[in-house]
Amino acid sequence: MYGNAYIEPDAKPVATIDEDPEKLAEFEARIARGEKIEPDDWMPAEYRRQVLRMIEQHAHSEIIGALPEGTWITRAPTLRRKLALIAKVQDEVGHGHLLYSAAETLGKTREAMINDLINGKSKYSNIFNYPAKSWADIAVIGFLVDAGAIVNQLANAKGSYGPYCRALERICYEESFHLKQGYDAFVALAVGTPAQRAMLQDALNRWWFPPMMHFFGPPDTISVHTEKLMRWKVKMARNEEMRQDFIEQYVPKIWELGMTLPDPALKRNEDGTWEYTQPDWDEFFRVINGDGPCNKERLAVRRYAEENGRWVREAMMNTAMKRMVPYA
């Protein structure tokens, strides 16, 4: 689901490689003119590394993100909800495929990316390391997590790397459908029986604080590194800007349904900015480094799928290779 929403603690530049100053100046001028960078174009090694890392993490987030919702397909309350959820989960896996293809254009194979994911080397969005305990969790994820994804992805779609932007354009259309199905399920519970409202409130409390407040990452430190990523249009908005945008758009929609948010400090200032309680950022880094409620479970499912699906991939590849042999 989600581009810059996750930050590696080691997201610092590799030892600076001396790039050809003329090529670098032309590269930066192209980006400043709004041109897209394509796979065969010259690019600084640091740009390649950062864009690859971002697209790869985004791809992992899509396929890991399908897991908490996927477990509710068999338990959806009606056939209509089940159909919508199946379609949504299928879309998310499709987003993963699109993004792995975009990442491969930067020189890392899909197999290497999947290996890094299941071995715990690559990161993905923290939010999927929290459990989906009830049907109301599915409504909250579909509404708020997908809303957060849209804020993030609309910003990234204006970035500088062509294959990523084109993948995001299509993904954003599908994310708006996800948001609608999530909001529809959310409203149904909010205007439902007292038990349904209580179930929704419980899910909202758990997902708001801290997972949604962690979603866009900690406020950026203003560093030369961040400035460069913004100049190269790899990072399109500061984490705090995206968080404010998300709160501004969605908190009123939650309040108008009579639901509450578990943060007494949450309020809109006269200048339009929002105040809120800072979540525990140590927890954010703990979860990103593998110590969240569901990290082990999520990776175990991916590992199982990888190992048990190997024979299918191999059979398909063999068939494809045979077809490529010309008729004798």
Residue 197 CB-density burial (10 A; 0-12 exposed, 13-18 middle, 19+ buried): middle
CB of 92 to Fe ion, least distance (A): 5
56 binds Fe ion (CB under 5 A): no
Residue number with CB closer to Fe ion (31 or 88)? 88
Binding mask 6-45 for Fe ion (x = CB under 5 A): ----------------------------------------
175 binds Fe ion (CB under 5 A): yes
CB of 171 to Fe ion, least distance (A): 6
Cα–Cα distance, 82 to 176 (Å, whole number): 18
Binding mask 189-228 for Fe ion (x = CB under 5 A): ----------------------------------------
Residue number with CB closer to Fe ion (62 or 220)? 62
What is the CA angle 147-233-114, rounded to 5? 65
Binding mask 233-272 for Fe ion (x = CB under 5 A): ----------------------------------------
Mark residue 78 as left, alpha or beta (left: phi above 0; alpha: psi -120 to 50; beta: remaining): beta
Residue number with CB closer to Fe ion (53 or 95)? 95
Among the candidate windows 11-19, 117-125, 177-185, 258-266, which touches Fe ion by CB under 5 A? 177-185
Report residue 32 as tokens: 């400043």
60 binds Fe ion (CB under 5 A): no
Torsion of CA 268, 271, 273, 275, to 10 degrees: -50
Q: How many helices (H) and strands (E) does the chain have?
A: 14, 2
Cα–Cα distance, 251 to 273 (Å, whole number): 12
Strand intervals (E) in the chain: 267-268, 274-275
- Cα distance between the two ends of the chain: 46
Contact 139, 189 (CB under 8 A): yes
CB of 146 to Fe ion, least distance (A): 4
Find the binder of Fe ion among 60, 81, 95, 238 (CB under 5 A).
95
Total binding residues for Fe ion by CB under 5 A?
7
**CA distance to 109, 111, 139, 328, per residue, from 324 (Å):** 21, 22, 46, 12
Residues in 111-170 that interact with Fe ion by CB under 5 A: 146
Residue 319 host element (H or E): helix 310-324
98 binds Fe ion (CB under 5 A): no
The residues binding Fe ion (CB under 5 A) are: 1, 62, 92, 95, 146, 175, 178
